[in-house]
Amino acid sequence: MRSENILVIGGTGKTGKRIVNQLEKLGHNVRIGSRSASPSFDWHEPENWPNTLKGMDKVYITYQPDLAVPGARNAIEQLVAMAKSASVKKLVLLSGKGEREAQLCEQVVINSGLDYTIVRASWFNQNFSENFLLEPILEGVVALPQAEAQIPWVDTDDIAEVATKALTEDIHNGQIYELTGPRTLTFKDAVTEIAKVSGRNITFIPITIQEYGDGMRKANLPEDFVWLIEYLFTEVLGNPELSEVTNDIEKVLGRKPIDFSEYAQKAATTGIWNQTTVQVI
């Protein structure tokens, strides 16, 4: 395998940092796309994107905070145009399973004329240890809407491994992969498993979406963040497509996906759920 120059946008994030690690182990030249990198990459500063794209063969794209937010499609269109001008050969886009708005962004990549792979992921296991569900876990009370939603939680290690394959193997060109874990769990199921492996008492309380939104606003969270969470809990968790379990991870990697229980046991050994302060990555 020849060494290639690969830009990983969001290279310090949940999937990006894992992809960077895997690509470097394979001997590729990796450029991290983040605000703190040099050259820097910021979704709000497109004038700097050509510097980040210069000399890159392939690009992994993860859009923050989500492809469904207003302005995402325009940003992806700009990025794709600049990538073509920079002679980038392939794009791998991280998308959301069951997110209809995200599929508009996917079409920009699909119709770009470049080689591409679309990676649609279900909700991450790591939301409980590296994202917005960590704080309520630590507080011992998790109150969430859509309590009955069956979610095929997927591990970011699996997402990263699939994305790395997509970036480095031509056989994945033109493919759309939908990544899920091997089974579905409700929020209560997941919290129960975390409580068991961490040796803690954690209460799950089902609430309405209205109550959840009101709570976020009372906590003075940014309105765009509140909008996104409300969208995810209504449009995405309310979409029956999300609950479908796929075999795409096994198809690409030749093994079963990581189960939520395996993730929970591994995360518990780090002490992440037994700390006294929140350290969201």
Has residue 232 been placed in a domain? no
Has residue 239 been placed in a domain? no
Where residue 2 falls among pLDDT bands split at 50, 70, 90? confident
Structure tokens at 11: 């290279």
H/E stretch holding 118 reads strand 115-121
Has residue 80 been placed in a domain? yes
* Structure confidence by residue, pLDDT tens digits, 150-168: 999 999 999 999 999 999 9
Check residue 241 and give its pLDDT: 87
Region of 113 (left: φ > 0; alpha: ψ -120 to 50; beta: rest) is left
At 108, the amino acid letter reads: V
Check residue 1 and give its pLDDT: 65
- Cβ atoms within 10 Å of 126's Cβ, excluding its own: 22
Average pLDDT over residues 213-240: 91
Chain mean pLDDT for the chain? 95
* pLDDT over threshold 70, residue 139: yes
Check residue 224 and give its pLDDT: 87
Nearest to 267 by CA among 184, 132, 156: 156
Has residue 138 been placed in a domain? no
Q: What is the CATH number of the domain that holds 249?
A: 3.40.50.720
- Are the CB atoms for 111 and 208 separated by under 8 Å? no
* Structure confidence by residue, pLDDT tens digits, 103-127: 999 999 999 999 999 999 999 999 9
Check residue 277 and give its pLDDT: 53
Has residue 43 been placed in a domain? yes
Where residue 280 falls among pLDDT bands split at 50, 70, 90? very low
Where residue 256 falls among pLDDT bands split at 50, 70, 90? very high
Task: Quote the number of domains for the chain.
Answer: 1
Nearest to 6 by CA among 15, 17, 14, 24: 24
- Cβ atoms within 10 Å of 274's Cβ, excluding its own: 11
Average pLDDT over residues 215-222: 93
- Are the CB atoms for 257 and 182 separated by under 8 Å? yes
Has residue 253 been placed in a domain? yes
- Are the CB atoms for 8 and 16 separated by under 8 Å? yes
Domain that holds residue 103: 5-121+156-179+244-257
240: DSSP letter: G
154: DSSP letter: B
Where residue 199 falls among pLDDT bands split at 50, 70, 90? very high
Has residue 227 been placed in a domain? no
Has residue 28 been placed in a domain? yes
Q: First and final CA of the chain: distance in angstroms?
A: 33
